[in-house]
Amino acid sequence: MATCPQGHPSGDDDYCDVCGAQMGGAPAAASQPPAPAPSAEACPICQTPRAGQFCEVCGHDYSGGGAPVSVPVSGARFEAVTASDRTYYEKVIAEGGPDATAMAFPPYCPERSFALMGEQVRIGRRSRARNLAPEIDLTGPPEDPGVSHLHAVLLAQPDGSWMLVDPGSANGTQVNGKPLQVNVPVRVGAGDRIHLGAWTVITIREGTP
């Protein structure tokens, strides 16, 4: 099994099954935090060492203290609509990331809608090796190579609203053009635009009753 530049074991030779980093990329910068020590708390689901509020492999929420959030059976209050954004893509390419030249804007990317239901909605790319199947699956086609397997998580609130958190994705997440800090939730609602990866945009809309 290969090891990514961040030190994660990966069954995928192109992009890390854990963080989505390119397997052939440069080693992690010295300024990045060290990997969790072997004695760190392990995820009760997949035994991965804890690195934040959410497990970076299976998405387990360590807080576990919130009351269950009820969702009307008639339909979701909000939906997430995924699409491609050429303006954002051109900005990413202009910033010259390590694998920017390998990222091509898709000639065709149909919109897809995902109802926001349940206590949490994970955003990312599925991984058979890690048994990870996010509720908003951006595997494609077309596939955005800049999206981590567990890129971000939407958390339902008791009042029916949603909070978005980035548990530590390789390429970061933006809401309405502002970068998210790792493990710092922000409220999102109808009209908000979430950018991630090389060209993916997710727009929050009012759901269908």
Share of the chain above pLDDT 90, in %: 49
Per-residue pLDDT of 81-138, as tens digits, reads 999 999 999 998 888 765 666 788 999 999 999 999 999 999 999 988 778 899 999 9
Average pLDDT over residues 137-151: 91
Phi, psi of 130 (to 5 degrees): -100, 5
* b/e sequence 91-126, b meaning 16+ C-beta within 10 Å: ebbeeebeeeeebebbeebeeeebbbbeebbbbbbe
Average of per-residue pLDDT values in the chain: 80
Residue ranges covered by each domain of the chain? 78-206
pLDDT band (50, 70, 90) for residue 25:
low
Per-residue pLDDT of 165-190, as tens digits, reads 999 998 899 999 999 999 999 999 99
Amino acid at 31: S
Q: How far is CA 36 from CA 93, 153, 166, in A?
A: 32, 21, 18
Average pLDDT over residues 138-163: 93
59, pLDDT greater than 70? no
Query: Which pLDDT score is estimated for 113?
Result: 95
0.95 exceeded by the pTM?
Answer: no
CB 50 within 8 A of CB 36: yes
CB-side neighbour CA atoms (13 Å) of 199: 22
Query: Which pLDDT score is estimated for 90?
Result: 92
Among candidates 42, 164, 99, which has minimal Cα distance to 173? 164
CB 78 within 8 A of CB 190: yes
Bigger pLDDT: 92 vs 64: 92
Q: How far is CA 135 from CA 5, 58, 76, 144, 178, in A?
A: 27, 12, 14, 16, 24
Query: Which pLDDT score is estimated for 28?
Result: 41
Helix (H), strand (E) at residue 92: helix 86-94
Q: Give CA torsion, residues 75, 77, 82, 86, to 10 deg.
A: 150
CATH of domain 78-206: 2.60.200.20
Query: Which pLDDT score is estimated for 57?
Result: 60
